Amino acid sequence: MTYKFTIIVPVYNEEANLERVETELSNYLEIASVPTSILFVNDGSSDNSQALIESICERNAAFQYILFKQNRGLSAAIKAGFDYVESELVGYIDSDLQTAPEDFNKLLEHIDSYHLVTGVRSNRKDSFVKNMSSKIANGIRRTFTHDGMDDTGCPLKVIRTDYAKRIPMFRGLHRFLPAMVMLQNGRVIQIPVQHFPRLAGTANFGVWNRLLGPLMDCFAYLWMKKKYINYEVFKSSK
């Protein structure tokens, strides 16, 4: 089967969530607006996640996986997914399922007119500290990038794969995906999506990851923006 859309699912020590991930994503595949496959990227989990992922993939033809030799972080997992996919469109969702797979259909409605469509979490179900730290981090990022995005940390996005593959990823750059698509003269839009409390497992990022990390990454983004090479071929003999 030829898939038009691939959903990347980064996984790091999420054994408590993977059974629900299989159920929710399998249900989504039944209602997906385009032919869709799932790609787990196991970021070097030390729990039983890999065994569960392999069992899921054996049961479901549309599910595949990549296993990292060592833990490399969320941006590396997303980049690996971008590198491996062959479908026209690529997206991702966190394995904690605090966002709903069915909302991908809302994003896909707009992808013909945009190069990246990102969710923005309405009525977030996180703690006060987590919400405030994310709000501050998003404000800092907007000041540096002028991307106009309210919630780049939302783990629900759809990107045209040719644009995704040209993003020069570095650690922490998953927060800058809209800005990096804009560097390619791409069009971006944000669409409200549902948000839910985490039901199982433990979040792998704390307050300092949401504040200090993004601030440092902003300077890396500014350097990259200044050095970024963007070109358009006008004519070729090939």
More confident residue, 181 or 234: 181
Give the pLDDT confidence of 102-133 residue by residue, as tens digits.
999 999 999 999 999 999 877 655 554 555 55
The pLDDT of residue 226 is: 78
Distances (CA, A) of 210 to 130, 132, 148, 233: 8, 10, 18, 39
Taking only the tens place, the pLDDT of each residue in 58-109 is 999 999 999 999 999 888 999 999 999 999 999 999 998 889 999 999 999 9
Count of domains forming the chain? 1
3-state secondary structure of 161: helix
Bridge-based pairing of strands 156-160 and 116-121 is: antiparallel
Range of the domain at 93: 5-227
Tell me if the pTM is above 0.85: no
Each residue of 4-54: pLDDT tens digit? 999 999 999 999 999 999 999 999 999 999 999 999 999 999 999 999 999
**Would you say residue 234 lies in a domain?**
no
Residue 55: CA atoms inside 13 Å, Cβ hemisphere, count?
10
Token duo for residue 154: 């939302």
DSSP, collapsed to helix, strand or coil, labels residue 22 as helix
Confidence bin at 207 (pLDDT 50/70/90): very low
**Tokens 């570095």 sit on residue:** 170
In the structure, how many helices (H) and strands (E) does the chain have? 8, 7
Supply the pLDDT for residue 143. 65
> For residue 238, is it within any domain?
no
pLDDT value, residue 60: 96
Task: Evaluate whether residue 123 is within a structural domain.
Answer: yes
**pLDDT on residue 4:** 98
* Residue 144 pLDDT greater than 60, yes or no: yes
Tokens of 214: 């993004």
Q: Tell me how far apart the alpha carbons of residues 118 and 104 are, in angstroms, rounded to a whole number.
A: 9
Residue 207 placed within a domain: yes
CATH number of the domain at 88, please.
3.90.550.10
Whether the per-residue pLDDT at 199 is higher than 80: the answer is no
205 pLDDT band (50/70/90 cuts)?
A: very low
Confidence of residue 1 (pLDDT cuts 50, 70, 90): confident
Segment 184-213 shows an average pLDDT of 70
How large is the average pLDDT for residues 225-231? 76
Assigned domain for 232 exists: no
Would 14 be classed as within a structural domain? yes
User: Does residue 37 belong to any structural domain of this protein?
Assistant: yes
Least-confidence region, from 1-10, 149-158, 217-226: 217-226
The residue-averaged pLDDT of 159-186 equals 87
Residue 204 included in any domain? yes
